[in-house]
Amino acid sequence: MDWITKNLPYLMAGVSVGGQYALIAIGYTMVYGILRLINFAHGDIFMVAGLIMVYATTAMPIYIAIPLMIVVTVFLGFMVERVAYKPLRSAPRMSIMISAIGVSYLLQNMALYVTGGLSQQYPTIPWISDTVTIFGATTKRVTLITPVLTIVLVVALVLLIKKTKIGMAMRAASRDFETSQLMGIKINSVISMTFIIGTFLAAVGSLLFFTNYTGVTPTAGAMPGLKAFVAAVFGGIGSIPGAVIGAFIIGICENIIKGLGWTTFSDAFTFALLIVILIAKPTGLFGEKATDKV
Amino acid sequence: MNKRTKMMWNAGLIAALLATLFILEQILPSGSMFFTVLKKGAIYALVAVSMNLLNGFTGLFSLGQAGFMLLGAYAYAILTIPVESRGSVYQYFDGGIIQFTVPVPVALIAGGLLAAVFAFLIGLPVLRLKSDYLAIATLGFAEIIRAVFQWDKLGPITNGSNLLRNFPSFKSVLYPFVVSGICIALIVMLINSTYGRAFKAIRDDEIAAEAMGINLAHHKRLAFVISSFFAGVSGGLLAMYQTTIQASMFKSAMTYEILLIVVIGGIGSVTGSCISSFLFIACSEWWLRFLDNENLYLGGFHVPFLRPGFRKVVFALVIMIMVLFYRQGIMGTKEFSVEGIADFFKNKFGRKKTAEGGASHE
């Protein structure tokens, strides 16, 4: 019992962080599945969502600020795709990836300009930031909500992909981009939809993530973004269940390492784990095996 | 133009460039931004070319450059901090455990070798991965290196997460130019050798290259190790330029910057990487600096939006425009050469080429 009360906070934090990573990782994995693009800007969109929330709450009540933040973030994700990725659809893969890095650079620098480089105090959201006690361990309510909300959203997403027409189009596009185009699928609306879903989940993720931290800085999105991407690769990039499982594994491992007092190595351990997995399974846990045709 | 005239032209151009730099250094005040740009540009040119060797010529998408630069910079700094000032630098670690120094060139090469050894070790498992998986594995490796170098237990060697300082640095702008120049020349020689042709064959089609009898694992490893060696050397140079280093400088953002330079210059063009690294540094550090000035008036008109940080926004926009509208980069896969310019002028102003393929007036 003593062991549980001592380690439960870390385990709970791990599950919670894992859920937040999962919400970001889905954006990476879906975009990669269709466009074969590492969307480096995704982590920064996540950060911008945090900043929008900061500025929105100063001007309006929180129950308007949250939907507004989500809508603005989704619009931002949509615009990024239209402006920076769509013109490069026929360009080599490297150019579009560089464009993603450019967008990430732009978003970070804009955030730097707007905030003046200072950390912005994230608003306290009532109810979910309240403190609760379970088995003698105190934590914020968000820690308990995150995994539940993540699972609900993921199930909804999986249903969307399996049951609806747009979901079918997405699956077709990720299986074979050109052929699905020939079959009459409006590829641009499918890609836009992918970005909209991805940024929506990232916006929800940022709401949960930043509640646990005091402030938002212009580079706050870089590390969670990278971790979430690692989670997506870990689970086999392109696979949604893979990304979710990968994110939970990484979140839990990271917090266990922190609990053992190795905080310096919590990031390094994540990457070491990734490298080990990739060596054993070169396309991640659930990734499709790539075969070269001669 | 035959080989000999070409070589003489190139040698002449390099000598003229160095002489110009030398003269400029005597005339202009040494604090000028111009020299900052040149120094940093030369260092970034080296690391960009080393990254181009991997990404552009061998087709290995690696994002570990910052990690290898960190290794080179630390090796350089640790081996050259004078023994008498170690006490103050390693103040939390009783002066550290390394109590000797080596000459600067030896330390630079040692930095390169350390990076190369690490590249060899990490390459054994990682180089089997393909494209994006390789990229994320090397990126992860760079992050691991950064964490390890900040570890307290290694403090007696690396000074933990504290600054390393007091190591020798360079004053003249010629120093980074000469060192980078030599390294880039070596890379160019490698690219033009049989190894270079094998690298290009791997880039164009791995399976075909393997069928032609190229040992894939061996050549990939070779490219990876050599590229890391030069990244290490440039890390050492960067340490000299910055005069202080800290592991937290070498974030993945640094690798992205170098990748941007490579792509803007043109993937697969050495001269493109060099030109774009100077342009990139000049743009980010110098030319746009006026945008950070809050009180800028254009004939009585107070320019809005200007305050510290605006420069970077504009710079990012410039990069986006470059990426969206110049997909091939500045040089594409072409090289800037004396021959190319000569041909250009000949086509423009000279006599028309004969059907046999060029008038032989050289």
pLDDT value at residue B356: 44
Put simply, the answer to whether B323 touches A99 (Cβ < 8 Å) is: yes
Q: What is the mean pLDDT of residues A220-233?
A: 89
Query: Which pLDDT belongs to residue B17?
Result: 85
Percent of chain A with pLDDT over 90: 40
Q: What residues contact B36, with CB distance under 8 A and at least 6 apart?
A: B285, B286
Contacts of B23 (CB under 8 A, 6+ apart): none
A19 band by pLDDT with thresholds 50, 70 and 90: very high
Lowest mean pLDDT among A251-265, B202-216, B292-306: B292-306
pLDDT digits (tens, 9 = 90+) for B322-362: 888 887 777 777 777 777 777 777 777 765 444 444 444 43
ipTM at complex level: 0.87
Q: How many angstroms away from the CA of A36 is the closest CA of chain B?
A: 9
pLDDT in the model for residue A290 = 63
Greatest Cα-to-Cα distance within chain A, rounded to the nearest angstrom:
62
What are the tens digits of pLDDT across the range A153-173? Answer: 999 999 999 999 999 999 999
Q: Is the dihedral of CA B328, A238, A43, B242 positive or negative?
A: negative
Q: How many angstroms separate the CA of residue A254 from the nearest CA in chain B?
A: 14
Average pLDDT over every residue of B173-186: 90
Which of B256, B291, B322, B333 to mutate against chain A (most A CBs within 10 Å)?
B256
Question: Which has more pLDDT, A51 or A289?
Answer: A51
For residue A214, is pLDDT > 50?
yes
Q: Which helix or strand (DSSP H or E) is residue A120 part of?
A: strand A120-121
**CA–CA min distance B174, chain A (Å):** 32
| Residue B94: predicted pLDDT | 78
Q: Which residue has the higher pLDDT, A66 or B7?
A: A66
| Mean pLDDT, rounded, of chain B | 85
B313 contacts in chain A (CB < 8 Å): 106, 109-110, 113
For residue B171, is pLDDT > 90?
no
How many CB pairs (< 8 A) connect A and B?
125
State residue B319's pLDDT score: 87
Residues from chain A contacting residue B320 (CB–CB below 8 Å):
84, 99, 102-103, 106
- Given a cut of 80, is residue B231 above it in pLDDT? yes
Q: Show the tokens assigned to B292.
A: 């950070």
Mean pLDDT, rounded, for B36-62:
91
Which residue type does B233 have? V
**pLDDT tens digits for range B102-123:** 888 999 999 999 999 999 999 9
Instruction: Check residue A223 and give its pLDDT.
Output: 87
- What is the mean pLDDT of the segment spanning B234-251? 90
Given a contact cutoff of 8 angstroms between Cβ atoms, the answer to whether A262 and A270 are in contact is: no
Mean pLDDT of chain A: 87
Alpha-carbon span B53 to A214, nearest angstrom: 43
Interchain CB distance below 8 Å, B129 and A267: no
